[in-house]
Amino acid sequence: METFQALLARKLAEALAAADLPPTGSVTPATDARFGDYQSNAALVLAKQRGENPAAVAEKILAHLKVGEWCEAPTIAGAGFINFTLRTEIVAARTADLLQDERLGVEKVAPPKRIVIDFGSPNVAKPMHVGHIRSTVLGDALARIASFLGHDVVRDNHIGDWGTQFGMVIYGWKNLLERAALERDPIAELVRIYKGANDRATADPAVREACRQELVKLQAGDAENFGIWKECVALSLREFEAAYKILDVHYDIQRGESFYNDRLADVVERLLKSGLAEISEGAVCVFFRDIPELADKPCITRKRDGGYNYATTDIATVDYRIQDLKADTVWIVTGAPQQLHFRQIFEIARREGYTADFRHITHGSILGDDRKLMKTRSGDNVALRDVLDEAVVRARKIVDEKNPELPDSERGDVAKIIGIGAVKYADLSQYRMTDYIFSWDRMLSFQGNTAPYLQNAYVRIRSIFRKAGEEFVPAKTLTLTAPEEKNLATRLCQFGEVVPTVLNDFRPNILANYLYELANSFHAFYEACPVLKSEEPSRSSRLALCELSARVLAKGLDLLGIKVPEKM
C-alpha cells in the first residue's frame, strides 16, 4: 500500500517534471492541521535556487499537479508552501483497508539487508548498571524495527569477556574469594575481589607482578586459570540473562571478545604484510596520516609487550561479521566515548577493502537529579537490577491505587509491563544523543509523553470493546464526519510513513512521538465522539477507529520493545 506521503511525493515529482522543473523538495505531514494534512516546500526551494518568486513557482507547479482524486484543490500558503488536504472519503477508504492489513500499512523494504546489530555488550565480572539501559533498549528497538521492515537481522552480544582485568580477578579469586558470598551474590563478590586485588597491587609491586603472571598463565591456556575464567564468565552471563529476561531482550548470537582471541595474531600479521600497519616504538600501529582529526591518533593493534587490544578484537570482529555472518550492514550501538575507536576500526575495514555499510550508533548518558552521571549516594554506578526492580515496585503501587478491583493474580504482571515499559520508553522517547535526567515521577506519570499514558490509551480502547460485549466486525467502509474522526484516521494512515523513517538516523523517538500524537488524537476523538451510544453508520465506523488505534498503539509499542496490558 503506497502511503499518502509517498503518493503525494510521486505526484509532486510528476508535476515538477511536467513543468520542466528539477526534482526538488519534499512532502511532509503538515505542521499545523489548519493548513491541511501534508505540505511541500518544493516551490520555496526552487524559487531560492533560481532567484524567482516562490508564489509564482508554486502556481506553476500547481498547474501540473494532478491529485484531484485524492486531495481537495491544493493551496498555496505563507511564503510559498503547497498544502494538501486529503479528501475525507479517501482517508476513510484507506483506514478501512488498514483494518484488513496485518502490517498496518508498513511495507517491507526491498531488497532487504543482512544486518548485524551489536548492542548492549556488557563486560564480564562487572555488574550491569543503569547506563546499560540505553544501548540495550535502543539496539533492541532498532533490531525489532529492522526485522519488521523485512531486513535479515542478527543480534550479537559482543560481551567484554577477555582482557587485562582477568589478571586481577584470578589473583583475587585465588587469594580473597569467599565462597558463601559468591553464592549469595556472584557479581558483587567478583567486584569485591577485583577491587581487593587492585588495592593490593597498587600498594605492593609483588602483587602487581603476581596479577600479571595470572594473566599470562590464562593467556597461555593454563587449565586452572582457564577454569576460573570460565566460571566468572558463566556467573556473569547468568546475571545478564536475568536482566534480558526482565527486559524482554534476546540475542541470536553471543560472540564475546574471547571468541576472537585466536584470530588476533593473524590479524596483526595480515595488517603488517599488507602495509596497512607498521612497527612504531615496538608496537604495531595503523596510522591515519591523511585524516587530519586522526593524524596524531594511531590505532595500536599489538602492544610493545606483545598483548593485543580492544581494537585488535574489533578488527577481527569485522572479518567474522562480513565473511562468516555474510553481513552487508553492521550497526554498533555504544555510548559516545567510543566514537574515535570505531572511526578507526571502520577506516581500517575500508582500507582492507570491505565495502559493507558500517554504522556506529552512539547515545548520550543517563543523568541523576544533579545533572551528573547517575550514581548511588556512595558514588557507585546504579545497578541495573535495582532500577528494574524498583520500576516494578513503583508501578505496582500505582496499579494498587488506580485499580483496586484488578485481581491480585494479574497485578504483578501489569506492574511489570508498566514499570519496565516506563523505563524503556523514557529512554526511547528521547533523541538518542541527548543526555536525560532519570525521573521516576515523570516516566511513571499517566500524563504526558510516557509509556503509561500510551498503555492507558490502549487499555481504554480494550475496555470499550469489553463493555460492548460484542465481537468486533471490521466495518467495510468508514464514515468520518467529525473533524476528530478524520484527524485520527489520517494519523492512523501515517504509521506506514513513520516506521521506516526511524532507521534513517536511528531515532526510535520519532516512532515514540508519533504514538504520543496518535494517543492524543485518540483522546480528542473519544471526547468529541460517543462510540457505543452513537447511531449507525457512525457506531461501526467509530468502533473501527478504536480497533485500529489499539492495533497501531500495540504494534508501535511492540516495535519499541514495550508491552501493553489488557487492563491497568
Which stretches of the chain bind ligand ARG, using CB under 6 A?
118, 121-123, 158, 160, 314, 317, 332, 334
Q: How far is the CB of 198 from ligand ARG (least distance, A)?
A: 18
User: At 264, phi and psi to the nearest 5?
Assistant: -70, -40
Least distance between ligand ARG and beta carbon 132 (Å): 8
Question: Minimum distance between the CB of residue 251 and ligand ARG, rounded to whole angstroms?
Answer: 13
What is the smallest separation between the CB atom of 226 and ligand ARG, expressed in angstroms?
Answer: 21
Nearer to ligand ARG, 37 or 314 (CB): 314
Helices 408-428, 223-247: inter-axial angle, 10-degree rounding: 100
Minimum CB separation of residue 366 from ligand ARG in Å reads 15
Cβ closest to ligand ARG, residue 35 vs residue 310? 310
Min separation Cβ 339 and ligand ARG, Å: 12
**Pair 552, 461: CB distance under 8 Å:** no
Computed on alpha carbons and rounded to an integer, the radius of gyration of the chain in Å comes to 28
Rounded Cα distance between 333 and 360, Å, is 6
DSSP 8-state symbol, 257: G
Q: Which of 481, 480, 517 is nearest to 497 (CA)?
A: 517
Considering the complex, state which of residue 330 and residue 395 has its C-beta at the smaller distance from ligand ARG.
Answer: 330
Q: Judged by CB, which is closer to ligand ARG: 123, or 479?
A: 123
CA angle 409, 466, 523 (to 5 degrees): 105
Tell me the C-alpha distance between 335 and 313, whole Å.
18
Which H/E stretch holds residue 11? helix 4-18
My answer on whether omega of the bond before 23 falls inside 30° of 0, hence cis, is no
- Shortest approach of ligand ARG to residue 354 CB, angstroms? 15
CA distance 446 to 555: 20
Closer CB to ligand ARG, residue 88 or residue 121? 121
CB of 338 to ligand ARG, least distance (A): 6
The single-letter code of the amino acid at 382 is V
DSSP assignment of 472-521: ----SS----SHHHHHHHHHHHTHHHHHHHTTTTT-HHHHHHHHHHHHHH
What CA dihedral angle connects 27, 33, 34 and 35, to 10 degrees? 0
Per the CB < 8 A criterion, the answer to whether 159 and 123 are in contact is yes
Taking the CA of residue 296 as centre, how many other CA atoms within 13 Å lie in the half-sphere pointing to its CB?
0
Beta-ladder partners of 253: 156
CB of 119 to ligand ARG, least distance (A): 8
For ligand ARG, the closer of residues 85 and 135 by Cβ is 135
Residue (of 454, 467, 426, 443) closest to 521 by Cα position: 454
Q: With respect to ligand ARG, which residue has the nearer C-beta, 189 or 314?
A: 314
CB of residue 256 to ligand ARG, shortest distance in Å? 9
Q: How far apart are CA 2 and CA 269, in angstroms?
A: 52
Is the Cβ of residue 121 or residue 344 nearer to ligand ARG in the bound state? 121
By beta-carbon proximity to ligand ARG, the closer residue of 198 and 334 is: 334
Minimum separation from the CB atom of position 464 to ligand ARG (A): 45
Nearest Cα to Cα of residue 340 among 375, 390, 298, 305: 298
Q: What are phi and psi of 290, to 5 degrees?
A: -85, 0
311 or 545, CB closer to ligand ARG?
311
Among residues 362 and 538, whose Cβ is nearest to ligand ARG?
A: 362
The residues facing 330 across adjacent strands are 116, 358
Any idea what the Cα angle at residue 464 is, between residues 460 and 469, rounded to 5°? Answer: 145
Label the pairing between strands 366-367 and 283-286.
unpaired
Q: Name the minimum Å distance from CB 121 to ligand ARG.
A: 4
Peptide bond into 537 cis (omega under 30): yes
